[in-house]
Structure 1
Amino acid sequence: MRYNDMAEALRARAWIGAVALCLSLAAFALLIGFGRGQPAIAAPASSDNLHLGVASCSGSTCHGRQEADGRIVRQDELMRWQEPSTPGGAHSRAYAVLASPRSQAIAARMGIGSASSSSECLGCHADPAPAGRGPRFQLSDGVGCEACHGGAQNWLQSHYAVGATHRSNVQMGMRALENPAERASVCLDCHFGSSRKGQFVNHRIMAAGHPRIVFELDLFSTLQQHHDEDRDYLERKGGRTNNVRFWAVGQAMALDRSLDLYGKPTGGAGAFPEFYFFDCHSCHRRIFDDEDARPQKLANPGRPIPAGMPPYNDENMIMLSAAARIAAPALAGRLDTDSRAFHAALAKDRASSIAAAAKLRGTAQALASAFSAASFNRDQVFAIIDTVSSEAISQRFTDYEGSVQAVMAVDTLLNALVNSGQIPAGAATSIRGDVNVAYGAVRDPNDYRPVEFRRALGSAVRTIRTLR
Structure 2
Amino acid sequence: MDRLGAGSLRCLAVLALFALYPAAIVYGNGTFEGVASCAGSTCHGRAAGNGAVVRQDEIAIWQEPSSPSGAHSRAYSVLAGRRGQQIAQSLGLGSATRASECLGCHATFVPQAVRGPRFQLSDGVGCESCHGAAGDAWLATHYARPSTHASNVSDGLIPLENPQVRANVCLDCHYGSQKTGQFVTHAMMAAGHPRISFELDLFSALQQHHEVDADYSRRKRAPDAVRFWAVGQAEAVRRATGLFAQPRFAMEGIFPQFYFFDCHSCHREIQDSDRRRLTFETNPARPIPFGNPPFNDENIIMLSAVAGALVPAQADAFQSASRDFHAAMGRGNNGDARAAATRLSQRALQLSTALSQRAYIDADAFRVIAIVGGNATRPRFTDYAGSVQAVMAIDTLLNALVTNGRITTGAAASIRSDINRAYVAVEEPNSYRPADFRTALASATTAIRRLQ
Residue 244 (structure 1) aligned with residue 238 (structure 2): no
- The residue number in structure 2 matching 1:373 is 357
Alpha-carbon displacement from aligned partner over 1:239-262 (angstroms, at most 9, x marks no partner): 211011000000000110001110
Tell me, yes or no, if the aligned pair for 1:80 and 1:88 is still in contact at 8 Å.
Answer: yes
Q: Deviations over 1:293-328 (max 9, x none)?
A: 454431112111110111000000100111111110
How far is the alpha carbon of 1:9 from its aligned partner? 4.6
Between 296-305 and 431-440, report the one with greater CA deviation: 296-305
Match of 2:86 among 105, 111, 122: 105
The alpha carbon displacement at 1:47 in A equals: 4.3
Alignment of 1:14 with 2:27, yes or no, is: no
1:301 pairs with one of 269, 278, 284: 284
The alignment of Structure 1 onto Structure 2 pairs a total of residues equal to 447
Maintained 8 Å contact 2:159/2:165:
yes
Deviation at 1:70, TM superposition (A): 1.2
TM-score, with structure 1 as normaliser: 0.92
Cα 1:188–1:429 shift into 2, 3 Å? same
Give the distance between the partners of 1:70 and 1:158, measured in 2 at CA.
18
> Displacement of 1:421 after TM fit?
1.7
Is the CA contact 1:327–1:380 (under 8 Å) kept in the aligned structure 2? Answer: yes
SS of residue matched to 2:72: helix
State the superposition RMSD in angstroms: 1.8
Q: Distance in 2 between matches of 1:84 and 1:178?
A: 26
Report SS of the residue matched to 2:83. helix
Give 1:435's match in structure 2, choosing from 410, 419, 424: 419
- Indicate whether 1:386 and 2:386 are aligned: no
Aligned counterpart, 2:117 = 135
Q: 2:380 aligns with which of 391, 396, 403?
A: 396
Superposition pairs of residues 67-106 of structure 1, within 5 angstroms: 67-106=48-87
Q: For residues 224 and 451 of structure 2, what CA distance do their matches in structure 1 show?
A: 20
CA contact under 8 A between 2:422 and 2:436: conserved in structure 1? no
SS at 1:135's partner residue? coil
SS at match of 1:429: helix
Residue of structure 2 in register with 1:340 after alignment: 323
Aligned to 2:17: 25
Asked whether 1:356 is paired with 2:346, we answer no
**In structure 2, how many angstroms separate the alpha carbons of the residues matched to 1:253 and 1:115?**
29
Q: Residues 154-173 of structure 1: matches in 2 within 5 Å?
A: 154-173=137-156
Q: Which shows bigger deviation, 69-78 or 394-403?
A: 394-403
Q: Which amino acid aligns with 2:18?
A: A
Contact 2:260/2:296 (CA < 8 Å) preserved in 1?
A: yes
Letter matched to residue 112 of structure 1: L
TM-superposed deviation, 1:74:
0.9
- SS of residue matched to 1:249: helix
Contact 1:388 / 1:394 at 8 angstroms: preserved in 2? no
CA distance in 1, matches of 2:367, 2:443: 16
From 201, 204, 210, the equivalent of 2:187 is 204
Q: Indicate the residue corresponding to 2:43 in structure 1.
A: 62
Instruction: Report SS of the residue matched to 2:255.
Output: coil
Q: Name the counterpart of 1:184.
A: 167
Query: One-letter code of the match for 2:288?
Result: I
Pick aligned residue for 1:253 from 219, 235, 239: 235
- CA distance change for structure 1 residues 164 and 283 in 2, over 3 Å: closer, same or farther? same
For the 8 Å contact 1:115–1:121, the answer to whether it is kept is yes
Q: Which residue of 1 aligns with 2:441?
A: 457
1:205 partner letter: M
Partner Cα separation in structure 2 for residue 66 and residue 122 of structure 1: 29
Question: Deviation of residue 343 (structure 1)?
Answer: 0.2
| 1:194 partner SS | coil
Please report how far the alpha carbon of residue 119 of structure 1 lies from its aligned counterpart in structure 2 after TM superposition: 0.6
